[in-house]
Amino acid sequence: MWLLKPQNPPPVTHFFHQDYLLSLPKLHHQVGANDFLNEYEKGRTPNPDIMCNKHIKFSCFYHYAVDNLGADAVATGHYARTSLEDEEVFEQKHTKRPDGLFRNRFEVRNPVKLLQAADSYKDQTFFLSQVSQDALRRTIFPLGELTKDFVKKIAAENRLHHVLQKKESMGICFIGKRNFEHFILQYLQPRPGKFISIEDNKVLGTHKEEDHHDQRCAACWFLYTLGQRAKISGLREPWYVVEKDGIKGDVLVAPQVDHPALYRDLLRTNRVHWIAEEPPATLVRDKMMECHFRFRHQMALVPCVLTLNQDGTVWVTAVKAVRGLALGQFAVFYKSDECLGSGKILRLGPSAYTLQKGKNRTRVAPEVSSDSPGLHPTP
């Protein structure tokens, strides 16, 4: 069975004896787009790929395959691995599947671990960090032990030339080929505002639609991401977004790509989704645990200390301040090659610039979530 994204042609179905096509364009929009738009409207920076995997591929698609079609398991093209061995499954290609082949897989025992792919550059565990334990137990990742080059070699040997010519998927599934800014403007109202220097509160310019006739979303303050370069009319030197005012529509900016206002070492997530369904034993016992995290795919892993709150949220203290942390992004946690799970970033600690200025250490970025604020971790 194949899950088709809107506007995608059927894949290599002629290699299989029986296939089904499941198209879910309305669901893509309801689940993916609604969450995506709600996050942007709050001034956050969402990651639709993580939520699409959680709610569509590994929930709706997975349950349809298992419950409606009686599938034993699902296989996806993600570059990832699990702690379950799949060699026995792949050896059944030309033989009748013996009874009970998957039985041990489904028995409730030790949780299945989500492991990084052999090809570290293509590893996609970041995007799978919200997948449920139930779905992971019945999922096979055929590409997990392979490199991208070897996969291309297999495709060439089997004359799958259209697979070789297919470009990497970089867009957002529910938007497709539509212009991103045009899509946003169909649902969210632009709000003019000012670019303000964080150093002296000087107004450097405005972001109004009439000021930029060639940019329909010039007044979309919500599309500016912390850390990105701000396009300020009339200024040649680069300025970078460090904070956003969701009420006024103002964008605070700082000069220089490595300005200390762009760096933070503290964040708080919502209730963490643990792949094993429960927090690691060390974290439960000690309320603190060393591990690594990243908040962008393919960025270097950052050493950190997790502090567990009573409500299941965590404070993440990076060993070294990192650049460009933004609300709405996911902090994905790792221990060695295991992906432990992830949590959405709902609160930011003070920037290095704020600390240098001697401002109140408890000051945090504005939060509009109904989530409880939690407590600052005890030093």
Distance between start and end Cα atoms, the chain: 52
Rounded CA gap, 355 and 357, in Å?
Answer: 5
d(Cα 191, Cα 188) in Å, to the nearest integer? Answer: 9
60 is catalytic: no
Residues 6 or more apart from 214 whose CB is under 8 A from it? none
Facing residues of 265 across strands?
Answer: none
Catalytic residue among 60, 173, 220, 291: 173
Answer yes or no: 220 catalytic: no
Cα separation, 109 vs 105, in Å, equals 9
Grouping H, G, I as helix, E, B as strand and the rest as coil, residue 240 is strand
Quickly count: other Cβ atoms within 10 Å of residue 318's Cβ. 20
Rounded distance between C-alpha atoms, residue 369 and residue 373, angstroms: 9
Closest to 15 in 3D by CA, of 135, 159, 164, 217: 159
Collapsing DSSP to helix, strand or coil, 219 comes out as coil
Tokens of 259: 């300005």
The values of phi and psi at residue 87, to 5°, are: -60, -40
Cβ proximity of 88 and 154 under 8 Å: no
Residues 6+ apart with CB under 8 A from 219: 190, 191, 192, 193, 207, 208, 209, 249
Is the dihedral angle over the CA atoms 347, 348, 350, 353 positive or is it negative?
Answer: negative
Please count the other Cβ atoms lying within 10 Å of the Cβ belonging to residue 281: 10
Counting every residue written for the chain, the total comes to 379
Which one of 52, 291, 304, 339 is the catalytic residue? Answer: 52
Q: Catalogue the active-site residues.
A: 52, 173
